[in-house]
Amino acid sequence: MFKKLNDLPNWQRNIYILWFGTFMIGVGSGEVLPFLSLFTETLGNFTKAEVNLYSGIAFSSTFLMTAIVSPIWGKLADRVGRKPMLIRAALGMAVVYTLTGFSTSVWVLIGLRFLMGFFNGYVSNANALVAKDTPKIYSGHALGIVVTGYTSGALIGPLLGGFLANIFGYRMPFFITGSIFFLLTFLTLIGVHEDKSTLVTEKPTGKQPSALKSAKYPMMVFGLLITSMIVNLVTNSINPILSQYVRQLLEPNESHLSMIAGLIAAAPGMTAIIFAPRFGRLGDR
């Protein structure tokens, strides 16, 4: 297999490795979804309201930090390249996931979730590298392949996380994911090749126009931004309390709580894979 990969052009080899990378990022991000609030519960003597509050903070802290640092990492990627950013993200998340398995208090968990958001960015840099270095005639197809990696991982992640947590406890999935991310760091380091000739070597002069103002229909873009934010707000608002709600429905039998919560968390992804192409074709018409 590795010999066949070496025989491929750089851009094709990148697609295979980055598909695996985005797949594992999807698995890692979805893996903790079914049991993060249950794990939070084991880190102290909390009331139900406190568990829900701390779980919500732990979930949102990653996305908050990602929103803050993404523009900074994006500018740096334009100068030093996407591959260093891929290695930074994979190695950083490998360390953070492993340390999360050793969490001793809820504040350590929340701090590590913030740190996870700081190192985030593998998927966006993978997409950017593929779009930049793939021949234009193949770029759309190549991006589609890489995107399916993250989508597939996000679908399998909750199922796998719930299964592992049910058998090995809440800490083992963090250790397993951290180990896989260390492997991903190594594969990215030796297997991904980037064309350095397209990097930005000089700082732009003068005031740069706003990306929103340069769009053909800025109000439409702004509307899509707001509606996308609302959709994500609504869909993600149940994540911190999902396992607690499933527990309430299962009482008094909680023997497979993590596994059932993982199945429920993965259900929207399953239907999305089935119906998204159909709605896409309908949208074209």
- With a cut of 70, say whether residue 207 has pLDDT above it: no
Return the closest-CA partner of residue 82 out of 111, 116, 125.
Answer: 125
* Most trustworthy range by pLDDT among 8-22, 40-54, 88-102: 88-102
Residue 219 is predicted with a pLDDT of 85
Overall average pLDDT of the 48-77 stretch: 89
CA distance 34 to 29: 11
Q: What is the mean pLDDT of the chain?
A: 83
- With a cut of 90, say whether residue 93 has pLDDT above it: yes
Tokens of 240: 């911190």
**CATH number for the domain whose boundaries are 2-195+214-284:** 1.20.1250.20
Phi, psi for residue 202 in degrees, rounded to 5: -125, 145
pLDDT per residue as tens digits for the range 29-45: 888 877 888 888 899 88
Distance of CA 232 to the CA centre of its chain: 14
Which residues contact residue 162 at a Cβ distance below 8 angstroms, ignoring those fewer than 6 apart?
Answer: 34, 35, 258, 259, 260, 261, 262, 263, 265
| 118 confidence band (pLDDT: 50, 70, 90) | very high
**Choice between 280 and 271, residue whose per-residue pLDDT is larger:** 271
- pTM for this prediction: 0.81
Residue 209 is predicted with a pLDDT of 64
> Cβ(158)–Cβ(31) under 8 Å?
yes
Overall average pLDDT of the 55-78 stretch: 88
Residue 280 is predicted with a pLDDT of 67
CA distance 282 to 86: 36
| Half-sphere exposure at residue 187, Cβ-oriented, CA atoms within 13 angstroms | 20
Residue 204 is predicted with a pLDDT of 59
